[in-house]
Amino acid sequence: MKRFLPAFFFLIIAAPAAGQSFLPADDLVQDALNSYPAMTASRDEISAARSEAMGLRASPYEWTLSGGYTQRVIDNQFGFNEFDAQITKGIRRRGKSRLDGEIGALGIEAAQLSSTDTRHQIALELATLWIEWLSKEEIHVIDQAQVDALAASLEIVSKRLANDDASQLELELAQSALFEAKSAAANSLGDAQIAKAMLDSMFPDLPLPQHPPQLFAPDAVAEPSAWIEKIISRSYETELAKTQADYASARAKRSRLDLKPDPEVGLRTFSESNGDEVGLGVVVSIPLGGPRRSASADRDAARASAAMASFALKQRELRAAAQKDVTLAQSTRLTWQQAASARQSSEAAIARLRRGYELGDTDISELLIAERRHIETRKLEAVARAQSAFADVRLRIDSHELWIGHGGGHANDAADFHTEP
């Protein structure tokens, strides 16, 4: 029977009952993410990008109406009423309108991708605070259990002292250990309250359970390479970097087209000599340009090159991060398994020592030393389990298997802005 204890022990801690999870319900998480201020800001950024795209689709030039009136006097005798008026508008050269539409569409796409990536980061923050709270609560439960155990030991010592079967020193050692345990419990209670307050402050719309669920260690990571490719292929972060690079490239192309200024055309009418001379004509003006246009084109070309380099770097960083996610999920689970084995051995040892002390076969000093080691072993296992649980949750969030969808749909919303107005 003893050969099956380790596997049974792992099963109790590692796996919850069917349908249970230590994470909040998905619908509650989605509501909490949607109401987070950064998500509100990102939605406003998308609206701003749409408005900017509409502005780019429209011509940057407006109709300009100008005119004048003159009273001309000849030899201080004859006065003539004269006037002129004209209406003009700038015209974008060939290709500029298409690029303006493309820039607007890429701006919308970048804003949408940024919003999704923001949601990803918020989800990670929520997971961090949630697991931190559950971990601190469990540490306090462990400390409180130690208080109860040492209180029971102190009661035994007190009874023995009353029967002259224990010394005053044994009583003082037991009292000291109990006070130390109470101090640790008070400290861990404060840590748990702080963790809960942080979670409640950052996500006030997320209801917290009255009784925090217990963390459990995840299953082993199956097919690590598949998880890595999943993270890379579903990353909105690299997609955002690529879209930003495309945006910068389109701006650079637009600046090169601006090296040739846009003409301004219109109609002009005039009346002179009290209407004896009238006319209607076409007016055209073309800026001659200057070094400022060349400087702007060079600047945007450099920015496009920098954006492409940033995209290449982001690809490398993402692969490194994906490999790190998988490695942490594997290593933290292995660490927890070792800590769980240590806890199992400690549970058996402390049970024998407590029983031995009750029967008078164990010295109080030996028991108190074992109690300290046992509490540290329990805490070590709890912390290792929390780290393993978070590594697994992070892996699932980064791969968009948890809380973050991995479907498309961004391009369709921005596609209309690619067309020529």
Residue 26 falls inside a structural domain:
no
Whether residue 342 has pLDDT greater than 80 = yes
Look at residue 18 and tell me if it is in a domain: no
Alpha-carbon torsion (315, 320, 325, 326), positive or negative: positive
Q: Which residue has the tokens 């030996």?
A: 366
State how far the alpha carbon of 37 is from the alpha carbons of 48, 153, 204, 241, in Å.
17, 52, 11, 23
Average pLDDT over residues 244-262: 92
Domain, as residue range, for 373: 36-418
Q: How confident is the model at residue 418 (pLDDT cuts 50, 70, 90)?
A: very low
Is the pLDDT at 332 greater than 90? The verdict is yes
Cα–Cα dist 7/16, whole Å: 15
Confidence category of residue 36, pLDDT binned at 50, 70, 90:
very high
Mean pLDDT across the stretch 279-287? 87
Instruction: Please tell me the pTM assigned to this model.
Output: 0.82
Q: How far apart are CA 254 and CA 94, in angstroms?
A: 11
Pull the structure tokens for residue 185.
Answer: 């419990």
Q: Does a structural domain hold residue 6?
A: no
* Residue 146 counted as domain residue: yes
CA atoms of 49 and 108, how far apart (whole Å): 5
Q: What are the pLDDT digits (tens) for 71-92?
A: 777 766 667 788 889 999 888 8
Residue 28 domain flag: no
Asked, for residue 95, whether it belongs to a domain, the answer is yes
In a domain, 172, yes or no: yes
What pLDDT does 77 receive?
Answer: 63
pLDDT tens digits, one per residue of 166-199: 788 888 888 998 999 999 999 999 999 999 999 9
Tokens encoding 323? 């490999």
Residue 330 is part of a domain; what is its CATH number?
1.20.1600.10
In a domain, 141, yes or no: yes
Instruction: Calculate mean pLDDT across residues 295-319.
Output: 95
Domain count, the chain: 1
Average pLDDT, the chain: 87
Rounded mean pLDDT, 122-140:
97
